[in-house]
A and B are shown apart, each in its own frame.
Chain A
């Protein structure tokens, strides 16, 4: 197991290297440059001002030199300074990443305890009213855009009932109770859709599993149905569910810009989006790179989780 994990970590090195080259290359290929934003319209046309700013930020160097300098610093944990705020990029990101992880993990976390039992029950009671209800509700969840569901939640819980704040963010480290009140609606908006996907996936995985020979064998040996379902079938059926949930979690880490806007949630997605608009290269590069590393790390964790779900899965 340890060897497997170490191998996987070593495999991450070339992945991260390629990712860093791609990120750096794409960011610098974006039309428009940061000097325009920093210097203002008038000064951007002034060659002296432009040259001074390019020198200050190292933008006067060839692109491969810029990459080498940047990568060297990143290896030492230094992502540089934001060209706009002039604060360390690590500070900018450390303020944002926890908010995003907090929202994504709770969103996924909310969905799993609902979706897995619901999908399992729907599969066991196939073609019954319970199954139909589960399928219809999950279809609705998939069909409703997240932003629309978010707006409905705000209208109901904030405007009409006045139970929860409509938008904003409080760190759980500052005030856990208050933080949770701000978290409920965005997490619900994420969780509802994720639960819908996961319910359908769990149901179809379970249907595949319950028709396999080992289930018939178990039944013929007289094992209790509950044991067959929860000890054997569900564990196998959860493998694709865990895989997809891991990917969804990775997707949520960088892909909640719309929800972050609706709930004024200061996450990494919105930060990268704003940095792109301002062509704040160090923030974009570091943000995308960190997200990339988080995604491959999640994939690694998912692979390791397979082993616990099903010891027959090889780790070689």
Chain B
């Protein structure tokens, strides 16, 4: 067994809880409502309006609902995230890492149950991980988080060892609630109709695009700082309402208690007009917006003779402040790297950021005799901020002397364009990269599938730094390595960071203790839905 510090369980968790509570109170100063000092009251049904509905019920095959749809409350991971994006105990109360970073040992909390009464033991976790590793029963994103697993060994009922194929200091981040959540093995036959998880709420029914019903799991293991069992709410009713204004109206009329994904341009006027009756919750950074440049082929390619200069011309044309004001309504932060000031992985020392200077862009194009150079700006339809950013970028590129076009596509069409290299700049974003390796290894590393599909970015020095960081336990050292990565990426300008994507939700001021964080409404230990309660239940 290793001498590495053991990540401890509940005693520490309570201290962490207090620390995060203080942290959340601090967040109040930058926008979150202050925490209620009143004792939590049990009971009540939370009516939650979401922008999207779950795609389907199988928690290993489907992705989106872990972030913001009520079904996320039915599942739980081996580990959890706290309000500050730290990895904390979940079903496993402690874990350690071998000296060679090849073996992770998880000790499971005793007495944790699935909703059908079966114990959450090491065998069941192994079964879940093996199901996730099977391409027939899992989503690629979920599967990729376990791709380093070589062997899963059950030492005893409550001890699980995972041997990796290669040393990794970051593996623990791959077994948190999202994406590797746990379902009862003996419920697999009903996974598409009535999933059985081990999260704070039990599944009751799902009427797609209409209503989801959950009730409190009476044997849920997590407690608050006073030892009271969580969650406090009796039930959740989820109502998918696609249109932002429809959700907001339903909140105002009292049909809903909480809504997610408030439109950015609604936040300020709503706070000014209805701030006394409703709270607005802002998590300033749940994802990062970026402009991908097609460097696989064409004039901007990594190996094109003037590719780098042309990419610099693009980078100098981008006004992040304008995006901050026009698209994000001054919520969140403009970015020079993936992590904003709101993140514990923020890197203030990033270099080579190309300042907004359209004249410089024009002069580069003149020098290369490439004025009116054609470039296609594309974006996907599903997220408005992506297409709005694309519109602005289109205008900025025209101003800088490019002959830019702008088109918005649905995802399958855009994927075909990626495959055919039929695009120039893609206005996109990624979320849920609370562990930096989840970003750098999956997008920037030259062997990463997303990079190969979309960007085609390759820089050997960058690859080396990312792989070194993956095997480095010390956080400060990793931040140094990633700072160097970001500085090189900025210099290559194959990908231009634009803006942190904030999460904005709103709720009745009767709802207390609701503290959403980076991980969303459901997957936050000591926060989110788990600690929410009604003032008058």
Which residues in A have their C-beta under 8 angstroms from that of B250? 165-168
**B242 with A261: CB separation less than 8 A:** yes
Residues of A in contact (CB 8 Å), total: 46
**B208 with A95: CB separation less than 8 A:** yes
CA of A42 to CA of B192, assembled, Å: 24
Highest count of chain B CB atoms <10 Å: which of A36, A52, A82: A36
- Residue B22 interfacial (CB < 8 Å): no
CA of A49 to CA of B410, assembled, Å: 23
CA of A167 to CA of B239, assembled, Å: 10
**A167 with B412: CB separation less than 8 A:** no
**A266 with B135: CB separation less than 8 A:** no
- Residue B536 interfacial (CB < 8 Å): no
Which residues in B have their C-beta under 8 angstroms from that of A167? 241, 246, 249-250, 255
**A41 with B55: CB separation less than 8 A:** no
Which listed residue, B144, B239, B411, touches A42 by the CB 8 Å rule? B144
**A159 with B252: CB separation less than 8 A:** yes
Which residues in A have their C-beta under 8 angstroms from that of B415? 32, 36, 41, 44
- Residue A207 interfacial (CB < 8 Å): no
Which residues in B have their C-beta under 8 angstroms from that of A36? 411-412, 415
- Residue B58 interfacial (CB < 8 Å): yes
- Residue A129 interfacial (CB < 8 Å): no
Interface residues of A in 80-110 (CB under 8 A from B): 82, 84-87, 92, 95-96
**B412 with A85: CB separation less than 8 A:** no
Which residues in B have their C-beta under 8 angstroms from that of A31? 412-413, 416
Knowing A37-B411, A278-B55 are in contact, say whether A45-B416 is a contact too (CB < 8 A). no
Which residues in B have their C-beta under 8 angstroms from that of A41? 140-141, 415, 449-450, 453
Interface residues of B in 391-408 (CB under 8 A from A): none
CA of A85 to CA of B411, assembled, Å: 18
Q: Residue-by-residue, is B180-196 near A (CB-CB < 8 Å gives 1, otherwise 0)? A: 00000000000011000
- Residue B77 interfacial (CB < 8 Å): no
B193 to chain A, nearest CB (A): 7
Q: Which residue of A lies closest to B58 (CB)?
A: A86
Q: Which residue of B lies closest to A279 (CB)?
A: B412
Q: Which residue of B lies closest to A40 (CB)?
A: B140
**A84 with B55: CB separation less than 8 A:** yes
Which residues in A have their C-beta under 8 angstroms from that of B249? 154, 158-159, 166-167
- Residue A139 interfacial (CB < 8 Å): no
CA of A277 to CA of B140, assembled, Å: 19
**A271 with B209: CB separation less than 8 A:** yes
**A42 with B241: CB separation less than 8 A:** no
- Residue A39 interfacial (CB < 8 Å): yes
Which residues in B have their C-beta under 8 angstroms from that of A154? 249
Which residues in A have their C-beta under 8 angstroms from that of B412? 30-33, 36-37, 279
**A166 with B449: CB separation less than 8 A:** no
A257 to chain B, nearest CB (A): 10
**A52 with B411: CB separation less than 8 A:** no
**A32 with B242: CB separation less than 8 A:** no
- Residue B151 interfacial (CB < 8 Å): no
Which residues in A have their C-beta under 8 angstroms from that of B55? 84-85, 278
Q: Which residue of B lies closest to A167 (CB)?
A: B246
CA of A168 to CA of B255, assembled, Å: 9
Which residues in B have their C-beta under 8 angstroms from that of A45? 449, 452-453
**B56 with A84: CB separation less than 8 A:** yes
- Residue B240 interfacial (CB < 8 Å): yes
- Residue B11 interfacial (CB < 8 Å): no
Which residues in A have their C-beta under 8 angstroms from that of B242? 261, 264
- Residue A169 interfacial (CB < 8 Å): yes
Which residues in B have their C-beta under 8 angstroms from that of A169? 210
**A87 with B193: CB separation less than 8 A:** yes
CA of A239 to CA of B152, assembled, Å: 74
**B450 with A86: CB separation less than 8 A:** no
Q: Residue-by-residue, is B262-287 near A (CB-CB < 8 Å gives 1, otherwise 0)? A: 00000000000000000000000000
A279 to chain B, nearest CB (A): 5
**A166 with B246: CB separation less than 8 A:** yes
Which listed residue, A43, A166, A279, touches B143 by the CB 8 Å rule? A43
Q: Residue-by-residue, is B236-267 near A (CB-CB < 8 Å gives 1, otherwise 0)? A: 00011111001001101101000000000000
**B413 with A32: CB separation less than 8 A:** yes
Knowing A159-B249, A159-B252, A166-B253 are in contact, say whether A277-B410 is a contact too (CB < 8 A). yes
- Residue A58 interfacial (CB < 8 Å): no
- Residue A310 interfacial (CB < 8 Å): no
B190 to chain A, nearest CB (A): 12
**A52 with B192: CB separation less than 8 A:** no
Which residues in A have their C-beta under 8 angstroms from that of B243? 261-262
Knowing A36-B415, A84-B55, A277-B411 are in contact, say whether A264-B141 is a contact too (CB < 8 A). no
Knowing A41-B140, A43-B140, A266-B207 are in contact, say whether A165-B255 is a contact too (CB < 8 A). yes
**A85 with B410: CB separation less than 8 A:** no
**A39 with B410: CB separation less than 8 A:** no
Q: Which residue of B lies closest to A33 (CB)?
A: B412
CA of A270 to CA of B243, assembled, Å: 13
CA of A159 to CA of B246, assembled, Å: 11
Q: Which residue of B lies closest to A169 (CB)?
A: B210
- Residue A177 interfacial (CB < 8 Å): no
**B136 with A266: CB separation less than 8 A:** no
- Residue A128 interfacial (CB < 8 Å): no
Which residues in A have their C-beta under 8 angstroms from that of B450? 41-42
Which listed residue, B56, B63, B239, touches A86 by the CB 8 Å rule? B56
Which residues in A have their C-beta under 8 angstroms from that of B410? 32, 277
**B58 with A159: CB separation less than 8 A:** no
CA of A274 to CA of B53, assembled, Å: 11
CA of A157 to CA of B308, assembled, Å: 59
- Residue B7 interfacial (CB < 8 Å): no
CA of A33 to CA of B410, assembled, Å: 12
- Residue B139 interfacial (CB < 8 Å): yes
CA of A136 to CA of B453, assembled, Å: 58
> Which 8 pairs of residues, A with B, have the shortest CB-CB distance?
A32-B412, A40-B140, A43-B140, A42-B449, A85-B56, A266-B210, A266-B209, A42-B140
Other 20 A-B pairs with CB < 8 A, given A43-B143, A168-B210, A168-B250: A36-B415, A37-B411, A40-B63, A40-B140, A41-B141, A41-B449, A43-B135, A45-B449, A48-B135, A84-B56, A159-B253, A165-B255, A166-B249, A166-B253, A166-B255, A167-B246, A167-B255, A168-B239, A261-B242, A266-B210
A to B CB contacts below 8 Å, 5 in the list: A31-B413, A52-B135, A158-B253, A168-B255, A279-B412
A contacts, CB < 8 Å to B? 30-33, 36-37, 39-46, 48-49, 52, 56, 82, 84-87, 92, 95-96, 154, 158-159, 162, 165-169, 261-264, 266, 270-271, 274, 277-279
